Amino acid sequence: MTKTATKKPQPINGAQALVQCLENFGVEYIWGLSGGAAIPIFDALVGSKIKLILTRHEQGATHMADGYARATGRPGVVLVTSGPGATNTVTGILTAHMDSVPIIVLTGQTITSMLGKDAFQEADIVGITMPIVKHSYLVKNTNDIPRVIKEAWHICQTGRPGPVLIDLPKDITSAPFTGGTLNPEMDIPGYKELPKPNQHDVLKMAGMFKGSKKPLLLVGHGAVIARAGDAIKKLAEKLNAPVTNTLLGKGEFPETHPLSLGMLGMHGTAYANKAIINCDLILSIGSRWDDRINGDNREFCVKAKKLHIDADFSEINKIVKPDAWVVADARETVEELIKHVAPLDTKEWLAELAFYRKEFPLKYENDKGLTAQYVLDTCYKVTNGRAIVTTDVGQHQMWAAQFYLSGRGDHWISSGGAGTMGFGFPAAIGAQFGKPKNLVVAIVGDGGFQMTLSELSTMFIHKLPVKVLIIDNKYLGMVRQWQELFFENRLSGVDLEGNPDFVKLAEAYGIKGFHINTVERCHDVMKQAMEYPGPCVIHAEVIKEGNVYPMVPAGKSAFHMIIEKPTGKLEKPTGST
Return left, alpha or beta for 378; rule: phi > 0 is left, psi -120 to 50 is alpha, else beta.
Answer: alpha
Q: What strand order describes the sheet that includes 388-391? A: 412-414, 388-391, 440-445, 467-472, 536-541, 512-516
Of the residues 16, 20, 42, 58, only one is catalytic, namely 58
Rounded CA gap, 431 and 434, in Å? Answer: 5
Length in residues, the chain: 577
Cα–Cα distance for residue pair 247/69, rounded to 1 Å: 18
335 is a catalytic site residue: no
Q: How far is it, in rounded angstroms, from Cα 443 to Cα 469?
A: 5
Distance CA 83, CA 493 (A): 31
Catalytic residue check, 459: no
Q: Is 541 a catalytic residue?
A: no
Please spell the DSSP secondary structure of 382-415, one letter per residue: HHTT-SEEEE-SSHHHHHHHHHS--S-GGGEEE-
Tell me how far apart the alpha carbons of residues 309 and 50 are, in angstroms, rounded to a whole number.
Answer: 37
Specify whether 121 is catalytic: yes
Exactly one of 134, 170, 250, 556 is catalytic; which is it? 170
Q: Which among 25, 28, 121, 318 is annotated as catalytic? A: 121
**551 belongs to the catalytic site:** no
- Catalytic one of 64, 398, 459, 478: 478
Check if the beta carbon of residue 398 is closer than 8 Å to that of residue 391.
no
Cα-Cα end-to-end distance for the chain: 81
For residue 182, what is the DSSP state?
S
| Kind of pairing between the strands at 215-219 and 281-285 | parallel
In 446-521, beta strands by DSSP E = 467-472, 512-516
Q: Show which residues are catalytic.
A: 58, 120-121, 170, 478
